[in-house]
């Protein structure tokens, strides 16, 4: 009896363990006649990486979002490759290849140079590992860096994976991926799609579904919360929606993002805003009840998305990405935070501070309050500063200023910024048009444009000031008009035809000079122009 009881207990324990094992899924090979992928949409450099690995005796596939996009007829912007070769083996097969990352070691294979370069990201098949059996650290990636050194699989106290560098077979790699539609493998040589978790079916049904238990998967890597929003935004025009079970834990899991490094959250925010679906991403955040709490700067973007200037910037970013043009995070963030800079500058000018120092102080306050140490001291910060500082300089269109300004490295970004301001009526349209013409002109035409502005300014400077008075009775003598003008303190002299022309008065100087007019670098400027 006792033996039978023990056997039953062991059997139940084994059953419980088997239930906890992940569903690796059954491999299904989908031929080209079924999936219909157009091979012309596959980047030749990705094909070359796969071919090189095959020739060296390794398995290799295009993987992830690229396969998903190919299945719906889109040309992927990025191509990732998965292989059973280790990072060191991959690196040895390519002339320009670099191993990056600590948490998740991958290889970047680089083609081309400069801005035109292309990176094919190559990852090694990951093994499935029970996080309960992983090495645990008390802190996080930042506080436990020395403790994590040498670990291949480690989690923190919440279950978040801090190291994931144990290699395994393809079926285990598939279950480690997040969404079913991102867990398919495509061999561009045989044109076969390998599917383990009904990803192909979910693509056809337009469903975004998490592999495994969504709450657990979000806990393993909280950044998946943001990825879910991004995919829902990107694919919503094609009819995709988050599965209810996948969407349900999102809001409750949001607190997990507090333990993610700020730099990683900053990067994920930029992916939300700069992949061509910024407005759709903001709508998804609102729809899912996640408009606040992901990242402080993202909260500001969502809050101001309906403001004309920020909305115009978001639309412009989506348009540029859609047209295949480059976008810079500095430009979009400069647009989002411009209201803070402008208002802080205006307050300082009202206190009779000089324009340029006032502008710089306002910018410093914005960086301290909104951005902090994430990117405030790098290139992003310097580009944002240049965009803002150039704005008052656009008001000065005489002398050497226009010629020097148009040669600045960040002129185009600053001009586009000013153009958006003109589009919403913050500055005059004629100013934007003038700079557009000036930037496209040759030296002779540029000088003509400057001379024209100088002549117009001189005409306005020397033009007599006309004081309008109430219209007198037609029979009243001209002297009556003179008397009325006299009463205002302006002496008037009769002119031909009994018309009265006022003499120029000496204008009193305003106290606290530099409160208006000129460029920031010249002791003047108006942030509201």
Mark out the alpha helices in 211-289 (DSSP H runs). Answer: 214-220, 223-235, 244-247, 250-253, 262-273, 278-287
Length of the chain, in residues: 529
Q: What pLDDT is stored for residue 269 in this prediction?
A: 93
Q: Are 182 and 72 in contact (CB under 8 A)?
A: no
Q: Are 314 and 496 in contact (CB under 8 A)?
A: no
Q: What confidence tier does 167 reach under pLDDT thresholds 50, 70, 90?
A: confident
> Cα 22 to chain center, whole Å?
36
- Of the candidates 253, 389, 286, 262, which has an alpha carbon nearest to the alpha carbon of residue 330? 389
Q: Is the pLDDT of residue 142 over 90?
A: no
Q: How far apart are CA 158 and CA 136, in angstroms?
A: 10
φ, ψ of residue 148 to 5 degrees: the values are -75, -15
Catalytic residue among 43, 69, 80, 202: 80
The pLDDT > 70 percentage for the chain reads 74
Q: Are 209 and 179 in contact (CB under 8 A)?
A: yes
Catalytic residue among 69, 156, 173, 178: 178
Q: Is the pLDDT of residue 193 over 90?
A: yes
User: Does 178 participate in catalysis according to the annotation?
Assistant: yes
Catalytic residue among 78, 299, 361, 416: 78
As assigned by CATH, the class of the 21-129+166-205 domain is alpha beta
* DSSP per-residue codes, 355-375: HHHHHHHHHHHHIIIIITTTT
Question: What is the token pair recorded at 274?
Answer: 């700069």
Q: Are 225 and 288 in contact (CB under 8 A)?
A: no
**Strand-strand pairing, 153-155 and 135-136:** parallel
φ, ψ of residue 118 to 5 degrees: the values are -125, 135
Domain ranges of the chain: 21-129+166-205, 329-460, 465-502
> Cα 361 to chain center, whole Å?
25
User: Does 343 participate in catalysis according to the annotation?
Assistant: no
User: Does 316 participate in catalysis according to the annotation?
Assistant: no
Could you read off the pLDDT of 454-469 as tens digits, one per residue? Answer: 998 888 877 666 555 5
- CA Rg value for the chain: 32
Paired strand residues for 185: 63, 194
Highest mean pLDDT: which range of 62-71, 121-130, 144-153, 516-525: 62-71
φ, ψ of residue 463 to 5 degrees: the values are -65, 135
Could you read off the pLDDT of 222-273 as tens digits, one per residue? Answer: 999 999 999 999 999 999 999 999 999 999 999 999 888 888 899 999 999 9
Q: How far apart are CA 67 and CA 174, in angstroms?
A: 13
pTM of the model: 0.74
Arch. (CATH architecture) of 329-460: Orthogonal Bundle (1.10)
Residue 405: which H helix or E strand, with range? helix 401-405
Q: How far apart are CA 421 and CA 425, in angstroms?
A: 6
Instruction: Report the pLDDT averaged over residues 354-377.
Output: 82
Decide: residue 241, CB within 10 A, 0-12 exposed, 13-18 middle, 19+ buried. middle
Contacts of 396 (CB under 8 A, 6+ apart): 402, 518, 519, 522
């Amino acid at each position: 009896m006792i033996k039978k009881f023990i056997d039953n207990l062991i059997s139940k324990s084994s059953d419980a363990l088997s239930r906890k094992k992940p569903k690796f899924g059954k491999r299904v090979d989908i031929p080209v006649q079924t999936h219909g992928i157009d091979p012309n949409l596959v980047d030749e450099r990705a094909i070359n990486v796969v071919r090189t690995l095959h020739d060296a005796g390794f398995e290799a596939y295009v993987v992830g979002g690229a396969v998903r996009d190919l299945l719906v007829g889109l040309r992927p912007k990025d191509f990732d490759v998965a292989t059973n070769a280790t990072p060191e083996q991959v690196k040895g097969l390519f002339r320009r290849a670099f191993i990056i990352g600590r948490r998740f070691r991958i290889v970047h294979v680089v083609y081309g140079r400069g801005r035109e370069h292309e990176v094919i990201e190559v990852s090694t098949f990951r093994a499935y590992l029970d996080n309960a059996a992983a090495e645990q650290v008390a802190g996080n990636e930042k506080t436990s860096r020395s403790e994590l050194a040498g670990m291949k699989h480690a989690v923190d106290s919440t279950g978040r994976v801090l190291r994931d560098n144990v290699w395994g077979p393809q079926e285990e790699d598939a279950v480690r991926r997040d969404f079913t539609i991102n867990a398919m493998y495509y061999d561009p040589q045989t044109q076969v799609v390998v599917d383990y978790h009904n990803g192909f079916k979910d693509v056809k049904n337009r469903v975004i579904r998490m592999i495994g238990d969504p709450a657990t998967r979000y806990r393993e890597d909280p950044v998946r919360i943001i990825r879910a929003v991004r995919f829902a935004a990107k694919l919503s025009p094609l009819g995709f929606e988050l599965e209810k079970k996948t969407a349900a834990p999102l809001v409750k899991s949001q607190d997990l993002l507090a333990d993610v490094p700020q730099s990683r959250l900053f990067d994920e925010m930029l992916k939300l805003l700069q992949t061509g679906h910024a407005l759709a991403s903001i709508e998804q955040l609102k729809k899912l009840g996640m408009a606040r709490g992901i990242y402080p700067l993202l909260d500001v973007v969502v809050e101001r998305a309906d403001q004309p200037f920020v909305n115009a910037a978001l639309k412009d970013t989506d348009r540029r990405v859609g047209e295949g043009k480059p976008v810079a995070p500095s430009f979009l963030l400069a647009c989002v935070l411009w209201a803070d800079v402008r208002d802080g500058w205006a307050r300082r000018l009202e206190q009779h501070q000089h324009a340029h120092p006032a502008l710089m102080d306002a910018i410093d306050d914005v960086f301290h309050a909104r951005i902090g140490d994430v990117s405030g001291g790098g290139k992003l910060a310097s580009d944002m500063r240049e965009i803002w500082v150039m704005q008052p300089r656009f008001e000065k269109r005489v002398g050497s200023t226009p010629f020097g300004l148009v040669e600045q490295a960040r002129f185009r970004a600053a001009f586009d910024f000013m153009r958006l301001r003109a589009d919403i009526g913050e500055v005059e349209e004629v100013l934007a048009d003038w700079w557009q013409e000036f930037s496209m002109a040759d030296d002779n035409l540029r000088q003509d444009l400057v001379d024209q502005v100088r002549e117009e300014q001189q005409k306005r400077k020397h033009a007599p000031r006309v004081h309008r008075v109430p219209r007198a009775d037609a029979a009243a003598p001209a002297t009556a008009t003179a008397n009325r003008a006299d009463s205002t303190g302006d002496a008037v002299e009769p002119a031909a035809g009994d018309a009265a022309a006022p003499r120029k008065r000496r204008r009193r100087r305003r106290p606290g000079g530099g409160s208006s007019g000129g460029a920031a670098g010249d002791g003047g400027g108006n942030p509201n122009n």
